[in-house]
Amino acid sequence: MSSPAVSSDREKVVSKLPAWLRQTLKVRAAQHGIEIQTAVEQGIRDWCSLASTVSAVDTTGADSFATFLPNGQWEEFRQTASDRRLSLIQGLAQSVQLWLDMNPAPDIQRPAITRRIVVCNQKGGVGKTAITAGVGEALAENPDSLHPVRVAKALAEALRASDVPTTGAKSGDDPLEIENLPGLGLRVLLVDFDPQCHLTNQLGASPLPMDGDSLTNHMAGDPRGELRDLIVSVEDDNFDGRLHLLPACNDAFLLDVRLSAVRAREAALERALAPVEADYDVIIVDCPPSLGLSMDAAAYYGRRRNNEKPGQSGALVVVQAEDSSADAYELLTTQIDDLRTDLQVDIDYLGIVVNLYDSRRGYIATSSLQGWVDIKDPRVVGLIGDLKEQKEAVRVKKPLLSYAPKSQQAVSMRALAREVM
């Protein structure tokens, strides 16, 4: 959390706390959206008012800890610790532990209806897969740890000044404000809906065999087992079993042909995923670069359902700051608009993500970015730089947010996930 300006009614105090207790305090204060000094102030106040002592806290290895307290509170605390025959270090540790006990970690806010994010663009090579994986990882990150996030206000300022060379700058040159926030801790399913299996391969999983079961079979009404049996967990301590993947199969190249013989084919993806929806807070679909029947099914899956608020689910469009992305965007929006009209459904746009951006590429990049920003509806919700960490993560088949958790791309992915949610 950002430290506020210190007012004249507070004084700086220095003591010691064990590292584990200081880190827990830091995370818990962030989870409750308050400053560390406020948490310590509340803990000391409550500790001083207790009628009896509390259990001792292990302070082995305690090191320097400084904060700001209201004038006079530290002296009251010192006197209380003396009356209880406790060291200041033990008294402070008990105060912090008391605050932690009285302010447990808040429950994860889970949506009433599973949210569905359809990551799409007819043009290949814009990085839909990287955005799908990055957003999913950010949504599933550990809620009991702090992760660097680029705050939304700073992102908006960067978009307004699209010629500022921030996302293409070297590491350490980024002037945008970074804030450490708890992970969102959501249960996420990533659906590799692309027959090229890029998402599956990037996350280190194996594509499903052609002679076995697949999402294509379930959509075509010819399942060979339970869909949940195909789902694998993305093994990483940072996600703790919350991030899952439905791998792709090369048989998806035949999906449009097989869907042509299916009744109500626009609902095929929804029917296939229905048995597992309740297991997840968010399902993210990595779409192929296609405008065929499979894209119709994906867009329909992201439609607004009964009792679902606008903007909870829908299409997240990934583009690049160059002209061919604009042409592909027009084709995609035309298809979605036609689907809205033909089926009388509401399909919301969750926003535009400008991916692989580097202002050092000159006028085409900066002017194209400005063109995306000028659209307004849907608005630009993410600006992701073209940096090496994403490519390296793909090479070693690891999630970006684990491979390079403090990289500019990871920081931007977390901001994007919060914008979409």
Task: Please report, in angstroms and rounded to a whole number, the separation of the first and last CA atoms in the chain.
Answer: 21
Give the residue ranges of the chain where pLDDT is below 70.
1-8, 151-176
Cα(315)–Cα(412) distance, integer angstroms: 19
Q: Is 300 within 8 Å of 101 (Cβ atoms)?
A: no
For the chain, what is the mean pLDDT? 89
DSSP string, 221-277: T--SS-GGGG-EE---TTTTT-EEEE--BGGGGGHHHHHTTSTTGGGHHHHHHGGGG
pLDDT score recorded for residue 37 = 95
pLDDT digits (tens, 9 = 90+) for 333-342: 999 999 999 9
Cα(255)–Cα(262) distance, integer angstroms: 11
pLDDT score recorded for residue 1 = 35
Q: Is the peptide bond before 378 cis (omega within 30 degrees of 0)?
A: yes
pLDDT score recorded for residue 165 = 41
pLDDT score recorded for residue 53 = 79
Q: Which residues share a beta bridge with 74?
A: none
Rounded to two decimals, the pTM is 0.88
Place of tokens 């048989």: 251
Cα(385)–Cα(382) distance, integer angstroms: 10
Place of tokens 């509170």: 73
CATH of domain 10-102: 1.10.1220
Q: Which two tokens stand for residue 255?
A: 């999906």
Q: Is 133 within 8 Å of 190 (Cβ atoms)?
A: yes
pLDDT score recorded for residue 359 = 81
Other beta carbons within 10 Å of 105: 15
Name the burial class of residue 201, with classes exposed (0-12), middle (13-18) and buried (19+) by CB atoms within 10 angstroms of its CB: middle
Cα(23)–Cα(30) distance, integer angstroms: 11
Q: Is 161 helix (H, G, I), strand (E, B) or coil?
A: coil
Cα(403)–Cα(401) distance, integer angstroms: 6
pLDDT score recorded for residue 380 = 92
Where in the chain do CATH 1.10.1220 domains reside? 10-102
Q: Is 61 within 8 Å of 16 (Cβ atoms)?
A: no
CATH of domain 115-420: 3.40.50.300
Where in the chain do CATH 3.40.50.300 domains reside? 115-420
pLDDT score recorded for residue 175 = 44
Cα(414)–Cα(202) distance, integer angstroms: 19
Q: Is 357 within 8 Å of 416 (Cβ atoms)?
A: no
pLDDT score recorded for residue 173 = 42
Beta strands in 288-405 (DSSP E): 314-319, 349-357, 380-385
pLDDT score recorded for residue 219 = 95
